[in-house]
Structure 1
Amino acid sequence: MTMRTLAAMFESYDAAATAVTKLEATGVPHSDISLVSNKGNGESETRATADHAVSGAGTGATIGTLVGGGAGLLAGLGLMAIPGVGPVVAAGWLVATLTGAGVGAAAGGLAGSLTDAGVSDGDAHAYAEGVRRGGTLLTVRVDEARSDDVERILVGHGALDLDERAADWQRDGWAGESNTVSSDTGTSAGFETQASATDRAGEIDKGTLIRSDARRPSARRVRIYDHPV
């Protein structure tokens, strides 16, 4: 069974939470979904609590218990601080890598955890930047036979165009992983298309987009990677 990692950035926590509910309703186990949000559950009290906890606990410490409600993934949201990103609410399989397998500190950072999950370096840093700027990141582990269905759900609930956002951030001075520009997309060369990845490696490797045409709109909104075994 070939597994894929799907990643998508959302403008709001609410949009991502709605996507999570839909994914779970279609049979995706909550253990295969992960959410990391810099906007909490929409309540100012959650952010204030996170900010206060970070000031006392230090960057990288796991700083909360459960703050979610209902059932499934969202019931397990907890407060934590991520180096380079700040205080977030998070739940799911990616959190285990963020917390260093129980050590209690997100020492590797969000980008490092994403690359461990198969995400390319450039995209991983872009997703981390998106969360730092107030976005919400969803990552889903799924068998390749279901990846198209999951992609449609993520796109249908408002997944953002990562290339477009990265271009805006670069105009604001964000360097990302590269200061060069891709002739294919007009954005950072750190965000590989399938064509450029194939030219570089000649085959699908860890961190390479699984896409026949990475420039189509859905692929700009939802990245699909080969999940490490």
Structure 2
Amino acid sequence: MKASVYCITRTVEQAEHIVLELKQGGFTSDDISALLPDRRGSRDFAHEHHTKAPEGATTGGVVGLGLGAGLGWLAGIGALAIPGIGPFIAAGPIMAALGGAAVGTATGGILGALVGMGIPEFEAKRYDAKVREGSILISVHTESGSQRDAARDIFRRNNADDIATGAEASVP
């Protein structure tokens, strides 16, 4: 059964270490998602944004994210500005979810994308609140029970918080 395993980390360094271990454990960049607040100042990092008005969000290519090898390895990493919420950095399948219709309103932003990815609403609300407070959400797609166990073990070894597993939503 396809499912995802989720966790919260408190620092970019902790998240990068988890992502590197997931990579070493055989997970691909397409399997791993990360979502974190964009705390960079414009004087510290160069980035450009392109308007994506239909989704109500600003997205774009990002140059010089300043992230280490762990998060920099993820596919599709980019910056988002979610109206009423603020700037975020996202990568992996969550980037596509946030770039879609779920971002149409401030209330639908992160919460709507997480529920749309198959996270139960009560857990999605908890993750949404923690990411808004500055924590980092990591999720990894798994195909089997052994992959789920491996991902949970990596999260535990790295002292991640709020480790949970959820069935994935089917994509039309």
Alignment partners' CA distance in 2, 1:3 and 1:46: 42
Alignment partners' CA distance in 2, 1:122 and 1:83: 22
Structure 2 counterparts to residues 1-229 of structure 1, below 5 A: 2-39=1-38, 44-45=41-42, 60-66=57-63, 67=65, 68=67, 70=69, 72-73=73-74, 76-100=76-100, 106-107=103-104, 108-145=108-145, 146-160=147-161, 221-229=162-170
Q: CA deviation at 1:100?
A: 1.0
CA contact (8 A) 1:34 1:93 kept: yes
| TM-score (normalizing by structure 2) | 0.78
Once the two structures are superposed, what CA deviation does each residue of 1:29-85 show, in whole Å capped at 9, x if it has no partner? 110110011155xx65588767x96xx999622144243564631x74211112453
Higher helix share: 1
Once the two structures are superposed, what CA deviation does each residue of 1:158-208 show, in whole Å capped at 9, x if it has no partner? 212xxxxxxxxxxxxxxxxxxxxxxxxxxxxxxxxxxxxxxxxxxxxxxxx
Distance 1:119 1:127, change over 3 A: same
Task: Point out which structure has higher relative CO (alpha carbons under 8 A, 6+ apart).
Answer: 2
Detail structure 1 runs of 4+ shifted over 6 Å in the superposition.
46-50, 56-59
Once the two structures are superposed, what CA deviation does each residue of 1:91-139 show, in whole Å capped at 9, x if it has no partner? 11111011017xxx83241111111121111111111111111111101
Bigger Cα Rg: 1
Runs of 5+ consecutive residues of structure 1 not aligned to the other structure: 161-220
**Structural RMSD (CA):** 3.0
CA contact (8 A) 2:4 2:167 kept: yes
